[in-house]
Amino acid sequence: MRKNNTIIRKLVAVTLSTIIGFTTIAIGQAPKAEAATASQANRIISIGDNYLGVPYRFGARSGITSAFDCSSFTQFVYKKVGIKLPRTSKSQSKVGYYVSRSNLKKGDLVFFRVGSGKSIAHVAIYAGNNKILHTYGAGGVKFSKLNSSHWSSHYVTARRVS
């Protein structure tokens, strides 16, 4: 009986130490992960901001900076911070994880349908303060208001990849 009690005490002590250790690690790393994400998101917006006014061209090749389409723009900007994205907006909408519209943070990818279509056909970068950074139509790369009647009514989903 005494031997069983000793084994049980040791088992409980080891288990509690392990739980406390993992909890301490998780708590200790959480602020660093948040800070890295915020820093990376600011970098993403800053990089994209450097291309304001670059013309929009549907089907623009990946990697060129003389013109972008929406997904070549996001692919290019995210690559600059070490995040590899697929080429199309529809494919990009499947990476990372879902974020509700009410929980958007700078650097999240935001997806829209175009016209009367139902499927995803446009991607933008959430820039904070209800603004998106993207390229679309006249004016090329620009900031737009997410809560404008057009973008708000065409909103589909958002993903966090940074």
Q: Which residues are catalytic?
A: 70, 122, 134
Q: What is the 3-state secondary structure (H, E, C) of 86-100?
A: CCCHHHHCCCCEECC
Output the CA–CA distances (angstroms, integers) from residue 155 to 20, 52, 56, 100, 108, in the order listed: 43, 22, 20, 11, 14
**Reading across the β-sheet that carries 120-128, which strands appear in turn?**
97-98, 155-160, 109-113, 120-128, 131-135, 141-145
